[in-house]
Amino acid sequence: MKDLQKELDERKALHLYRSRRISDGPQQPEMIIDGKEVINFCSNDYLCLANHETVKQAFIEGIKTYGAGSGAAHLVNGHSKAHHALEEELAEFTGYPRALLFSTGYMANLGLAQALVGKGDTVLEDRLNHASLIDGGLLSGARFQRYAHNDVAQLKEKLKTAKGETLVLTDGVFSMDGDIANIPALADTCMQHDAWLMVDDAHGFGVLGENGRGSLEHFQLPQNAVPIYMATLGKALGTSGAFIAGSDALIETLIQKARPYIYTTAIPPAVAEATRASLKLIKTKPELRTQLNENIHYFRECATQLGIELTNSQTAIQPIILGNEELAVAMSNALFKEGLLVTAIRPPTVPKGTARLRITLSASHSRKQIDKLIEAINNSI
């Protein structure tokens, strides 16, 4: 038998060991973590809807109507009126004919790849894709290859030798770097080679585009440019779950063939009701996106003035690349002592030599809070 403790000790020695902190209270800029009051700069709750009164009340009313759980998978008796209404509203909001709910984004990505391709087919992925996209491609059984990050020219070369059905998978906003995929070029390239293109817009949906419709709206692309659109509900929308949007034929294929959909209990209907409330807020409260974008601009402007080196990210994800795992952990711990929660991200989540602090901004962060973060980082570097 493998010596598990030895492996764990080795991870600690390499500064790659991960530990959980315990939060006490809702997601918001000010939190209590491990009993300490901190300003939270690592949540994906970009619009601060996870603790919004309207969303919470919708959740409560959903529990009163539907109870705490869904009871079964969607194809048994777990598909409620609330689920169905949310799917229709997500389809309308994104501009696709249909949308299909999944319990998690990870399940959506596994199910999509497995349902569309298999042995004899090809999956091509951006090298910096989220782990769920990578695992989806690997587990599909198709020939799996990666192209250099945002390198459409290299993707074109790989498409020339692709076999069978070809599926190209990419993040819309890359979760660790915060940059946006070149979706217009990807769409043109995939169309030229008769390849499926799927965009995982987990970190773009709700925050990018004039109306918060995500990466496609950011680039002013029509829906037919990207035949498969996926986004999660636990980030900008503040709840839980995910969906895939596409044609009627695509959604029916996923219902019939996507194993993580078929064999998983549906998310609680109350979560669907809360998400419907979040979606309405995204439609009717553009000032939330305006405030988020103002905070992003303010952070970058102040950091640049102090000589803090940033990436080219224009999104809420603002990494500071440190390179060294030990330094990343030490800085994260030092910031925590100052009352600032910023996560150290290390391999294998990011490539070796690119350990970093992953800062995420929200619509509810104040200028004073951002100033405190920048000052603490400047003093630590």
Catalytic residues, which ones?
Answer: 175, 203, 235
Residue 243: closest CA among 97, 44, 103: 103
Residue 355: closest CA among 318, 381, 320: 320
The backbone region for 323, taken as left when phi is positive above 0, alpha when psi lies in -120 to 50, beta otherwise, is left
Cα–Cα distance, 104 to 124 (Å, whole number): 22
Cα–Cα distance, 381 to 377 (Å, whole number): 6
Query: In this structure, what is the dihedral angle of CA atoms 229, 235, 240, 246, given to the nearest 10 degrees?
Result: -10
228 pairs with which residues across the strands? 198
21 pairs with which residues across the strands? none
Cα–Cα distance, 298 to 289 (Å, whole number): 14
- Following DSSP, what letter does each residue of 132-170 receive, concatenated? HHHHHHHHT-SEEEEE-TT-HHHHHHHHHT--SSEEEEE
**Amino acid code (one letter) for 74:** H
List of residues 6+ apart from 266 with CB closer than 8 A: 70, 72, 73, 74, 78, 79, 80, 83, 101, 103
Do 87 and 77 contact (CB within 8 A), yes or no?
no
